Structure 1
Amino acid sequence: MHQAIAALSSERFLQKLRLGAGLVMLTFVAMHLVNHALLLVSLDTAERVSRLFALFWRNPAGTLLLYGALVVHVVLVLRSLYRRRTLRMPAREAVQTALGLLIPLLIIEHAVPARLSQPLYGIVVDYRMVVRSLWVVNPLQGFRQSVALLVIWTHGCVGVYFWLRFRSWYASASPYLFAVAILVPVLALLGFADTGRMLAHMAETAPQMDPAQAEALSTVRPPIDQATVAEGLGRIKLSLYLVFLGAIALVLVLRHMRTLAERASQITIRYSNGALVHARRGLSVLEASRQAGVPHYSVCGGKGRCSTCRVRILDSAAPLPPPGSIEAATLARVHADEHVRLGCQLHPEGDVSVALLMAPNPAASLPVATEPVRPGREEEIAVLFCDLRNFTDLSEARLPYDVVFLLNRYFAIVGQAVEQAGGRLDKFIGDGAMALFGLGADRDQAARQALAAAAAIVRDIAHLNAELGNDFSVRLRIAVGVHAGPSVVGMMGYGTTKSLTAVGDTVNVASRLETTAKEHDVAIAVSERALAQSGLETDGLRHSEVAIRGRTAPLRVYLVTDDESRRFALETEKA
Structure 2
Amino acid sequence: MAIRTREIRLVTGLVLGAFLLTHFSNHALGLVSVEAMEAGRVWFNGLWRNPVGTLLLYGSVLTHFLLALLALYRRRTLRMPVREAAQLTLGLSLPFLLIAHVVGTRVEWALTGHNSGYPEVVRNLWIHNPEIGARQALALVIAWLHGCLGIYFWLRPKTWFPRSALFLYTGALLIPVLALLGFAEAGREIADAPERFGPIPTPPASAILPMAGPVLYAFFGGAIVATVAARFIRSGLLWSRRVRVFYPNDRVATVPQGFSVLEASRIAGIPHVAVCGGRGRCSTCRVRVLEGLQRQPPPSAQERGTLARIKAGPNVRLACQFRPTHDVSVVPILSTGRNGVASLVRGGRAQGQEQEIAVLFCDLRGFTSLAERRLPFDTVFILNRYFEAVGESVEDAGGYIDKFIGDGVLALFGLRTTPQQAAKQALDAALRIKAALEHLNEEYASEFEHPLKIAMGLHAGPAIVGQMGYGQATSLTAVGDTINAASRLEGLAKELDVELVISEDLATRAALDLSGRDRQIVQIRGRAAPLGSWIIPKADGLVR
For normalisation by structure 1, the TM-score amounts to 0.78
CA distance in 2, matches of 1:517, 1:14: 46
Match of 2:122 in 1: 131
Long gaps (5+) in structure 1: 1-8
Contact 1:37 1:184 in 2 (8 A): no
- Match of 2:15? 24
Higher mean Cα deviation, 525-534 or 535-544? 535-544
1:488-507 mapped onto 2 (5 Å cutoff): 488-494=463-469, 495-507=471-483
- Most deviating of 234-243 and 20-29: 234-243
Uncovered stretches (5+) of structure 2, i.e. residues with no partner: none
| Percent identity for Structure 1 against Structure 2 | 41
Contact 2:273 2:341 in 1 (8 A): no
- 1:480, 1:513 within 8 Å by CA — same for their partners in 2? no
Mapped to 2, the partners of 1:390 and 1:355 lie a distance apart of 43
Partner of 1:92: 83
User: What's the offset of the Cα at 1:538?
Assistant: 4.8
Question: How far apart are 1:491 and its partner, in Å?
Answer: 0.9
Matches within 5 A, 1:98-177: 98-120=89-111, 123-166=114-157, 170-173=158-161, 175-176=163-164
d(CA) in 2 for partners of 1:273 and 1:263? 25
The change in CA–CA distance for 1:150 and 1:304 in structure 2 (over 3 A counts) is farther
Taking the TM superposition and a 5 Å limit, the aligned residue runs for 1:156-235 are: 156-166=147-157, 170-173=158-161, 175-176=163-164, 179-180=167-168, 182-184=170-172, 186-205=174-193, 223=202
- Determine which structure has more spread, i.e. the larger CA radius of gyration: 1
| CA distances 1:244-297 after superposition (whole Å, capped 9, x unpaired) | 344434433443344445544433222356421223344443443333223345
1:149-548, aligned counterparts within 5 Å?
149-166=140-157, 170-173=158-161, 175-176=163-164, 179-180=167-168, 182-184=170-172, 186-205=174-193, 223=202, 236-260=212-236, 262-272=238-248, 274-297=250-273, 309-316=285-292, 319-321=295-297, 327-329=300-302, 331-333=304-306, 335=308, 343-344=319-320, 346-357=322-333, 360-361=336-337, 363-364=339-340, 366=342, 373=349, 375-470=351-446, 472=447, 476-494=451-469, 495-527=471-503, 529-531=505-507, 534-535=510-511, 538=514, 548=524
Aligned letter for 1:515?
A: G
- Match of 1:295, SS state, is coil
> Which residue in the other structure is 1:5 paired with?
none
**What do residues 48-106 of structure 1 show as CA deviations (whole Å, max 9, x unaligned)?**
34333323432344334333332333233223323433322333332222222222232
1:410: how far off? Answer: 2.0
1:11-35 CA distances to partner (integer Å, 9 max, x unpaired)? x744444444333323322332333
Tell me the distance in 2 between the aligned counterparts of 1:429 and 1:99. 50
What is the 5 A alignment of 1:60-79?
60-79=51-70
Distance 2:531 2:266 in 1: 46
Which one has the bigger helix percentage?
A: 1
Query: What is the total number of aligned residue pairs between the two structures?
Result: 538
Q: Partner of 1:350: helix, strand, or coil?
A: coil
Deviation of 1:457 after TM superposition, in Å, equals 1.9
CA contact (8 A) 2:243 2:257 kept: yes
Partners of 1:536 and 1:79 in 2: how far apart?
A: 47
Q: 1:31 to 1:346 in 2, by over 3 A?
A: farther
Secondary structure of the corresponding residue to residue 93 of structure 2: helix
Residue 490 of structure 1 and its aligned partner are, at CA, apart by 0.8
Secondary structure at the counterpart of residue 453 of structure 1: helix
* Aligned counterpart for 1:82 among listed residues 43, 56, 73: 73
Q: Is the contact between residue 357 and residue 463 of structure 2 (CA under 8 Å) also seen in structure 1?
A: no
Which segment is superposed worse, 241-250 or 299-308? Answer: 299-308
Q: Secondary structure at the match of 2:339?
A: coil
Segment drifting more, 437-446 vs 329-338: 329-338
Higher mean C-alpha deviation, range 541-550 or range 352-361: 541-550
Name the TM-score, length of structure 2 as normaliser.
0.82
CA shift for structure 1 position 424: 2.3
**Distance in 2 (alpha carbons) for counterparts of 1:287 and 1:550:** 28
Is 1:483–1:506's contact at 8 Å kept on the other side of the alignment? no
CA distance in 2, matches of 1:301, 1:442: 23
What is the match of residue 535 of structure 2? Answer: 558
RMSD over aligned Cα atoms: 4.1
Instruction: Measure how far apart 1:477 and its partner are.
Output: 0.7
